[in-house]
Structure 1
């Protein structure tokens, strides 16, 4: 897929503020409102724009602990992996889940209120999933950089 400068400008602006009005967006990038709206709709229909969302500050909601959990499944087969993913998708604490290479099978990013809640999550939710044989956790001390913006330049 080839994006021109207007498409990239739309994506950059929407990644900074998805609540920007079409009028303000069109002024910002130098297109008519109808052309801007058509391009935005096209980017969404093509799947380049997955969704418009709101980013919430987890700490302001009392979620003080962010952790990355590496999971090892046993046995590692399609049935175990599919069941694991079904269960993970039911857990609101899991923000992201990646299947990874190396000696671990999955990497989870979770958010919880505090360390006791983290412990309960691991024991009661994660380790209770059949097939989860081992987990290793790294607790986030401080977030140094976080963005959801994808670079649009070639």
Structure 2
């Protein structure tokens, strides 16, 4: 890009201080870790009480295989991104951790065939 390293570092520091850049991550291949099957699981809670929501968000992010949790609007309340070894492990995850959870009323699982990462506004922010 023709920008001196010191200028680049100063820009990155400024973006971090302003909260534009919240952190950095490693793009890890789940299949390389033995988790070749990924899915998005839509979750609908039984009730929308503070206690049900607190219980769900306390328990779910730490479950084995959970990559991300999104609180969403619409027919479902949460979307869970999970990475597991195979379809048996996915079934077991849903049965052992979600359908038995007292806050969960309904789940719907969609397999992920591929993933593309977008670059929302990255070029405009850095320039």
**What TM-score, normalized to structure 2?**
0.85
Task: From 95, 99, 106, give the equivalent of 2:78.
Answer: 106
1:75 alignment counterpart: 47
Which structure exhibits the higher relative contact order, with contacts defined as CA atoms closer than 8 Å and separated by 6 or more residues?
Answer: 2
Q: Contact between 1:74 and 1:132, CA under 8 Å: does it hold in 2?
A: yes
Q: Contact between 2:41 and 2:80, CA under 8 Å: does it hold in 1?
A: yes
**Unmatched runs of 5 consecutive residues or more in structure 1:** 1-28
- In 1: Cα distance, 2:79 partner to 2:57 partner: 12
State the SS of the aligned residue for 1:124.
helix
**What TM-score, normalized to structure 1?**
0.72
1:15 alignment counterpart: none
Q: CA deviation at 1:54?
A: 1.1
How big is the alpha-carbon RMSD for the aligned residues of Structure 1 and Structure 2?
A: 1.8
- In 1: Cα distance, 2:95 partner to 2:116 partner: 28
Task: From 29, 44, 52, give the equivalent of 2:16.
Answer: 44
Establish whether residue 64 from structure 1 lines up as the match of residue 36 from structure 2.
yes
Establish whether residue 150 from structure 1 lines up as the match of residue 108 from structure 2.
no
Deviations 1:24-55 (A, max 9, x none): xxxxx323332221111111122211212211
Radius of gyration: which is bigger?
1
Q: Contact between 1:73 and 1:105, CA under 8 Å: does it hold in 2?
A: yes
- In 2: Cα distance, 1:77 partner to 1:119 partner: 28
Structure number with higher strand proportion: 2
Moved over 4 A (4+): none
